[in-house]
């Protein structure tokens, strides 16, 4: 598919922000399953760009003049095809590092006991997909119940969440099963489900020696395909977040995000 993507994030504050640092992972790279034709990220002031440890394009900008609103926009065109296997050429991050839990993924004893019947005995696609189906079956997709700081344990306790929560629970269970796994942020194209445009899933390491990772979408209990566009990877949401930052001042914050994905002929 040839897809045109536009992602606009706007912040409004009740008082002037005096100082802020924003870190963006809003630029997809060409890799298996996707070819980036063109891409542009627009920020209020010029950002410095680098490649982080995971191979993500990371842009940072600092604002030192007071402001009460801020707009960040990313847009471009990506050609996609079915692909669910990714090879780490650089191997900058060891798969063994991705066995470590984070605050967002740490499973509780109750969670491990509930899923004990379905925890993979090895890092095979069939067994990991069965676990994904079990997570999807238990955690009802329910926007508005959770937020970016919700942990896997909290989502499990509520039995509800969104793709981010599905991914965090899945990461916790894979890592507890001694399977390296990482968080993937990105976009999902489905004309009938525009609310899923901003999406998250996981990669699990299916061959540690060769650095081969297989991508699984827990929300749809399937391997990723041409509908998925990868933005960034990390240990959890926080290390792969499309937009994150810190600020001084501003008071209350109002955030609006809009993503449109259009299929081109």
Same domain, 143 and 74: no
pLDDT at 90: 64
Full-model pTM: 0.95
Average pLDDT for runs of 10 along the chain of length 265: 95 96 96 96 96 95 96 97 88 88 97 94 93 96 91 96 96 97 95 80 93 95 96 96 95 92 91
CATH code for the domain in which residue 152 is found: 3.10.620.30
Q: What angle do CA 147, 18, 49 make, to 5 degrees?
A: 70
Pure H helices in the chain: 109-114, 125-138, 152-158, 163-176, 237-240
pLDDT at 195: 66
Same domain, 174 and 57: no
pLDDT tens digit sequence for 73-106:
999 999 999 999 999 876 678 999 999 999 999 9
Same domain, 64 and 121: no
Same domain, 61 and 162: no
Q: Residue 193 carries which DSSP code?
A: -
Domains in the chain, number: 2
146: left (phi over 0), alpha (psi -120 to 50) or beta: beta
Same domain, 149 and 253: no
* Distance set, CA 111 to CA 33, 61, 91, 158, 214 (Å): 33, 39, 31, 12, 24
Residue range(s) defining the domain that contains residue 59: 2-79+243-264
Same domain, 106 and 233: yes
Same domain, 250 and 222: no
CATH code for the domain in which residue 47 is found: 2.60.40.2250
Cβ atoms of residues 22 and 61 within 8 Å: yes
């Amino acid at each position: 598919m040839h897809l045109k993507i536009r992602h606009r994030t706007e912040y409004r504050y009740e008082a002037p922000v005096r100082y802020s640092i924003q870190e963006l992972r809003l630029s997809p790279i060409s890799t298996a399953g996707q070819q980036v034709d063109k891409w542009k990220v627009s920020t209020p002031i010029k950002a410095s760009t680098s490649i982080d440890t995971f191979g993500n394009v990371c842009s940072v900008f600092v604002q030192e003049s007071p402001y009460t609103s801020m707009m960040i926009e990313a847009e471009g065109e990506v050609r996609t095809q079915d692909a669910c296997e990714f090879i780490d050429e650089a191997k900058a991050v060891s798969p063994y590092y991705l066995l470590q839990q984070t605050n967002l993924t740490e499973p509780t004893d109750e969670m491990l006991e509930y899923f004990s019947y379905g925890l993979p005995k090895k890092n095979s696609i069939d067994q990991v997909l069965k676990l994904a189906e079990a997570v999807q079956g238990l955690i009802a997709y329910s926007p508005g119940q959770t937020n970016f700081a919700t942990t896997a344990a909290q989502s499990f306790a509520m039995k509800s969440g969104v793709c981010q929560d599905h991914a965090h629970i899945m990461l916790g269970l894979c890592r507890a099963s001694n399977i390296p796994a990482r968080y993937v942020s990105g976009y999902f194209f489905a004309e009938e489900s525009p609310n899923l445009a901003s999406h998250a899933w996981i990669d699990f390491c299916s061959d540690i020696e060769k650095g081969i990772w297989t991508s699984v979408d827990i929300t749809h209990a399937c391997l990723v395909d041409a509908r998925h566009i990868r933005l960034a990877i990390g240990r959890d949401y926080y290390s792969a977040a499309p937009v994150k930052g810190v600020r001084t001042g501003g008071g209350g914050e109002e955030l609006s995000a809009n993503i449109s994905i259009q299929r081109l002929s």
